[in-house]
Amino acid sequence: MLKVYGIKNCNTVKKSLTWLETNKIPYEFYDVKKQVLNESILDSWMNNIPTPYNWEILINKTGMTWRKLPETKKKMKLDINKAIKLILENSSVMKRPVILKNNFNYWV
């Protein structure tokens, strides 16, 4: 069964869930606003992103959450550890959804 991580009211997540339901693909949904992400989960995701991408794909720099961040946060040089901390502080900055099948990441 797929595991879908996202925010229930996110349009991209809604479209993804609708597609899964239309195609009768079973999934478990995890709302990252309500269920706590942790460093271990994020570290695993970031270190298993398929080539040619890297961990930076998990940060949504075009969304409203990113735009509302203080300039100091937006201008800081991100690495994996800082990105994990940023997502743990504000889960809405994460690109969504993250879809896992057998603990491997799939990106929508």
> Does residue 108 surpass a pLDDT of 70?
no
What is the domain range of residue 23? 2-107
Number of domains in the chain: 1
- How high is the pLDDT of residue 51? 72
The predicted-structure confidence for 26-51, as pLDDT tens digits, reads as follows 999 999 998 778 999 999 888 888 77
Residue 10 is among the residues annotated as catalytic for this protein = yes
Token pair of 104 as six digits: 């491997």
Provide CB contacts within 8 A for 27, sequence distance 6+. Answer: 1, 2, 3, 4, 17, 20, 99
> Does residue 105 surpass a pLDDT of 90?
no
Q: Which of 7, 10, 94, 100 is catalytic?
A: 10
- Whether 7 contacts 15, CB under 8 Å: no
- Whether 80 contacts 58, CB under 8 Å: no
CA pseudo-torsion sign 62, 64, 68, 73 = negative
CATH code, domain carrying 51: 3.40.30.10
Total-model pTM = 0.86
